[in-house]
Structure 1
Amino acid sequence: MSKKLAIFDLDGTLFDTREVNYLSYKHALANQGFDLDYNFYTEQCNGKYYKEYLPLIIPNITEEMMEDIHHDKKNAYFNNLGVSKVNEHLFNIISNLKTDYHIALVTTASKTNCMDILNYFSKTNEFELIITHNDVEKVKPDPEGFFKAMSYYNMSAENTIIFEDSEIGIEAAIRTGATVFTITKF
């Protein structure tokens, strides 16, 4: 029997990292003289690409300033991992799927932050393939990352399932034609 493909998102799906990302961006923005409100972050920023929401926080922000803030955020991320939560139910599902499915991770997170959290919780070996925002030209809601994983395994949409939580991730997943499972809370 040939295997099928199961693709998982990272932030909000496998791990609750809202507070990790919030604290990391709060630190990075403070280095630039700006504050970040938690409610604003969770409502307007969480699950989105930083280039979409940093201009909401800092009007007329330059590309260089966005990159500086994102770099500082990535450096602060590891120090805040202790507040993240693991979706143990979903990792149990992954363990059960491995005999029939290739297991891939597709995230808009950076390679650095993705590997930081996977290593921190000893979950790196759960995935055969990891695709981060460093591996694609277009991030979610574009389905490029999902299509890359499907192409890697020469897998059709009919033989692919995707687990996602955010609006933009769900939109990208739906655009692949695969079956999509939505994670709303864990």
Structure 2
Amino acid sequence: MKKTKMIICDLDGTLFDTLEVNYQAYKKSLYEIGYELSYSFFIKECYGKHYKEFLSKLNLTEEEIEKVHIIKKNIYRNNLKYAKINNYLFDIIESLKNNYYIALVTTASKQNSEEILEFFNKKEVFELFIFAENVERKKPDPEGFIKAMEYFNISPEKTLIFEDSDIGIEAAQRSGANIMKIEKF
């Protein structure tokens, strides 16, 4: 049967609660270059945003930003024990995958995304992955969502995007697709 609809999911905050995973990884990586990262600053300024955007708020040099990012990517897997899976959303996806293309669009790195998907044994659920490395413009730009729709030749009207953050919701709105906001799981 030919699929004529698509579901696109964000990763952090949508499929997985990775707040603590990311906080611990960034806290440890920033500590290695002599910075203390408070939880309140992380929640307010960092979570759900691209690393270059929020690390620049710490007045880090470009070299320090890239160093922190590399360290964070390499220690991320050590903090996956803090992640929580959104079983409700995965149940929905599983029940619809025969009629919908299933894509993942995230501002997270390919490495960290694949690590969490493999940790929870969920990589095979998706037919397409668009990671931070696959787009030039990050959310709130809709580039990633549009690329997914173009890949499967599915119109925005036949696409449902699951997102959690304001930045992700803005990108989804700008893509013209239907949106389901994930609040808490």
Class of the TM-score when normalised by the shorter of the 2 chains? over 0.9
TM value normalised by structure 2: 0.97
Instruction: Please list, as runs of the form range in 1=range in 2, the aligned pairs for 1:13-162 lying within 5 A after superposition.
Output: 13-56=14-57, 58-59=58-59, 61-162=60-161
Q: Unmatched 5+ residue regions in structure 1? A: none
Q: TM-score, normalised by structure 1?
A: 0.97
State the alpha-carbon separation in 2 of the partners of residues 49 and 167 from structure 1: 13
Tell me, yes or no, if structure 1 residue 178 matches structure 2 residue 173: no
1:62, distance to aligned residue in structure 2 (A)? 1.7
Q: Which amino acid in 1 is paired with 2:93? A: I
Shift of 1:2: 3.6
- SS at 1:74's partner residue? helix
Aligned residues: 184
5+ residue gaps, structure 2? none
Q: C-alpha distance in 1, partners of 2:6/2:167? A: 21
Name the Cα RMSD after superposition: 0.8
Give the letter for the 1:88 counterpart. N
Runs of 4+, deviation exceeding 3 Å? none
Alpha-carbon distance, 1:63 to partner: 1.4
Alpha-carbon shift at residue 42 of structure 1 (Å)? 1.3
1:12 alignment partner in structure 2: 13
Q: Distance in 1 between matches of 2:51 and 2:125?
A: 27
- How far apart are the structure 1 equivalents of 2:184 and 2:44? 15
